[in-house]
């Protein structure tokens, strides 16, 4: 070739550009049909979505008492401990959903706290652990759907889980979880279908991991979903006449049993370190110490224990019993049930994706796996109706099944030519704008909550030299306003929040923290202001 000549293909076009484009599309096509690449892509998109929301609206502060409890668990794990020793001044630090005796620890199952600890250790921010859990959820959903649908639809399902469950929701913009339980459900049901189809030991291991994640995120709902999945597995394998018992034992029972044994050992060890009893859950111990209202709405309240401050009495007696009394009013059970169903519908479907269910009758008739998924979801909904209150993360173990049903319906709609493809495109196009109302709650709206005020006060103290003690006085105004929340290592925290009790007890508190600047925050005075207290 002479200098200055262009490389021209036989059709007269610059060959270099066509070759690059052709190879790029070919590489993209191979990546999207390669399971590991597709799952990795979905995980990256989920992580990028969470980072983008944080850049647009900031990292959301904790706003309800559950989040402070989970953050305590994350900080505890990040320090290399399962629980903290009780503090000598523990009565001043009592707060909702936090144990003070026999250890200082969260009352919740540990999986969410472990993810927060991971984010804290990697970057110093627990919110990164939330983003990683969302990424794990989306990847797990895509992996599950790879056994339920063609590759393209599996990728679509993974992306759908991001837009529906992570775009300005409590699962990605708060600390009380949801995504890890959803990942556990996806691993469970993805392994279930693979076990029935091919019976590989690795799928039995994944099945066990899914059960362990559910047990360590949502114990009650996880037990319900896990029991149904285990029963389905035993029933389907028992019906296979071509499956020898030796093969089932070697490929399913033994690997699954080994994983569950390790998971049980971990759970019992965690309970023992937190409560002193391997069989006593932290939540159960907390209920025995503070609670009056049982989790199921038909259970009568228990006598109130002795409380060390009026705030705890207000929350655990008046507020919780008021919530239970709603069920006891004439027609209250039906109204409460309808509200719970609306909460679940609004989060998991919404007005746009609900149109995809128009194809559900045809899908149920044709697909036995969709019938099984609907049956599991029905059981899970009934379990949520039985408890006193319901939030979206309570039903998180079934999130992947919701996506699987939606993908099956969208596939059926796609076949209804000529209008089907247009309907699918419209449903998917409208599903993202349908989530925008959440922005008010989990977007910039966070900046106008009391939680933002608490963060601003904390940041102001952190910008002031020395170590500080904030003594909070005044009555509680909303049960979710948790002013008293501290890190795992209270004595070495630069800012410590404590409740004002009696003059004698307060004198002991000030004597214990003799080297700190003392501030008083009166929550009954508006606007809120820190006032320095003379010793």
pLDDT of 356-372, one tens digit each?
A: 999 999 999 999 999 99
Q: Are residues 477 and 510 located together in one domain of the fold?
A: yes
Residue-range definition of the domain harbouring residue 378: 109-290+329-441
| 255: nearest Cα among 302, 298, 316, 191 | 191
Q: Are residues 452 and 434 located together in one domain of the fold?
A: no
What is the pLDDT averaged over residues 23-39? 72
For residue 3, tell me if it sits in a domain: no
Q: Are residues 404 and 471 located together in one domain of the fold?
A: no
pLDDT at 447 over 60: no
φ and ψ at residue 510, rounded to 5 degrees: -65, -35
Residue-level pLDDT at 228: 96
Q: Are residues 434 and 518 located together in one domain of the fold?
A: no
Residue where a domain terminates, one of 387, 416, 441: 441
For residue 201, tell me if it sits in a domain: yes
Q: Are residues 514 and 411 located together in one domain of the fold?
A: no
pLDDT of 250-289, one tens digit each?
A: 888 899 999 999 999 999 999 999 999 999 999 999 999 9
Question: pTM for the full model?
Answer: 0.90
Residue-level pLDDT at 11: 45
Q: Is 499 helix (H, G, I), strand (E, B) or coil?
A: strand
pLDDT at 320 over 70: no
For residue 95, tell me if it sits in a domain: no
Residue 418: asked if its preceding bond is cis (omega within 30°), the reply is yes
What is the pLDDT averaged over residues 165-176? 90
Q: Picking from 99-108, 216-225, 308-317, 344-353, which range would have the lowest pLDDT averaged per residue?
A: 308-317
Q: Picking from 28-42, 90-104, 115-129, which range would have the lowest pLDDT averaged per residue?
A: 28-42
Residue-level pLDDT at 191: 96
Residue 102: asked if its preceding bond is cis (omega within 30°), the reply is yes
For residue 312, tell me if it sits in a domain: no
Q: Are residues 115 and 264 located together in one domain of the fold?
A: yes
Residue 87 neighbours by CB distance under 10 Å: 18
For residue 324, tell me if it sits in a domain: no
Residue where a domain terminates, one of 419, 441, 463: 441
Q: Are residues 163 and 253 located together in one domain of the fold?
A: yes
Residue where a domain terminates, one of 424, 441, 458: 441
Residue-level pLDDT at 223: 95
Q: Are residues 421 and 512 located together in one domain of the fold?
A: no
pLDDT at 9 over 50: no
For residue 390, tell me if it sits in a domain: yes
Q: Are residues 340 and 476 located together in one domain of the fold?
A: no
For residue 311, tell me if it sits in a domain: no
Percent of the chain with pLDDT over 90: 62
For residue 478, tell me if it sits in a domain: yes
d(CA 391, CA 389): 7
Q: Are residues 335 and 479 located together in one domain of the fold?
A: no
Q: Are residues 436 and 452 located together in one domain of the fold?
A: no
What is the pLDDT averaged over residues 407-433? 91
Q: Could you give the number of structural domains in the chain?
A: 2
Q: Are residues 281 and 383 located together in one domain of the fold?
A: yes
């Amino acid at each position: 070739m002479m200098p200055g000549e262009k490389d021209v293909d036989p059709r007269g076009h610059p060959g270099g550009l066509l070759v690059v484009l052709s190879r790029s599309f070919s590489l993209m096509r191979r990546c999207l049909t390669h399971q590991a690449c597709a799952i990795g892509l979905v995980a990256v998109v989920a992580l990028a979505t969470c980072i983008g929301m944080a850049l647009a609206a900031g990292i959301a502060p904790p706003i309800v008492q559950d989040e402070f409890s989970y953050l305590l668990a994350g900080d505890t794990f990040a320090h290399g401990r399962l629980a903290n020793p009780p503090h000598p001044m523990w009565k001043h630090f009592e707060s909702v959903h936090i144990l003070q005796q026999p250890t200082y620890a969260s009352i919740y199952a540990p999986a969410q706290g472990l993810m927060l600890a991971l984010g804290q250790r990697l970057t110093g921010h627990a919110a990164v652990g939330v983003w990683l859990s969302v990424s794990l959820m989306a990847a797990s959903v895509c992996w599950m759907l790879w056994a339920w649908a063609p590759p393209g639809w599996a990728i679509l399902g993974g992306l759908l889980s991001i837009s529906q469950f992570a775009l300005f929701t409590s699962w990605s913009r708060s600390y009380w979880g949801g995504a890890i339980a959803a990942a556990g459900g996806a691993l469970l049901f993805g392994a279930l279908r693979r076990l029935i189809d091919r019976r590989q030991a690795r799928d039995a291991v994944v099945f066990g991991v899914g059960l362990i994640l559910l047990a360590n995120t949502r114990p009650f709902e996880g037990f319900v979903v896990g029991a149904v999945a285990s029963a389905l597995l035993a029933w389907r394998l028992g019906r296979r006449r071509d499956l020898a018992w030796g093969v089932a034992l070697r490929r399913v029972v033994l690997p699954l049993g080994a994983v569950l044994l390790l998971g049980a050992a971990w759970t019992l060890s965690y309970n023992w370190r937190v409560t002193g009893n391997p069989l006593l859950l932290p939540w159960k111990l907390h209920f025995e110490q503070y609670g009056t209202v049982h989790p199921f709405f038909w259970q009568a309240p228990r006598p109130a224990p002795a409380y060390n401050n009026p705030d705890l009495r207000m929350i655990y007696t008046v507020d919780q019993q008021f919530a239970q009394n709603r069920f006891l009013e004439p027609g209250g059970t039906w109204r409460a049930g309808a509200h719970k169903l609306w909460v679940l519908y609004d989060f998991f479907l919404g007005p746009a994706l609900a149109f995809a269910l128009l194809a559900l009758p045809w899908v149920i008739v044709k697909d036995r796996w969709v019938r099984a998924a609907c049956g599991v979801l029905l059981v899970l909904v009934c379990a949520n109706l039985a408890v006193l209150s319901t939030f979206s993360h309570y039903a998180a173990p079934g999130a992947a099944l919701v996506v699987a049903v939606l993908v099956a319906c969208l596939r059926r709609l796609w076949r209804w030519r000529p209008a089907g493809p247009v309907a699918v495109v419209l449903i998917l196009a409208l599903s993202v704008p349908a989530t925008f109302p959440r922005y008010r709650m989990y977007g910039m709206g966070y900046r106008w909550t009391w939680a933002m005020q608490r963060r601003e006060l904390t940041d102001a103290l952190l910008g002031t030299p020395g170590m500080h003690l904030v003594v909070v006085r005044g009555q509680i105004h909303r049960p979710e306003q948790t002013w008293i929340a501290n890190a795992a290592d209270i004595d070495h925290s630069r800012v410590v929040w404590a409740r004002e009790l009696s003059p004698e007890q307060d004198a002991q508190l000030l004597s214990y923290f003799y080297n700190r600047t003392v501030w008083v925050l009166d929550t009954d005075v508006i606007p809120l202001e820190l006032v320095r207290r003379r010793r």
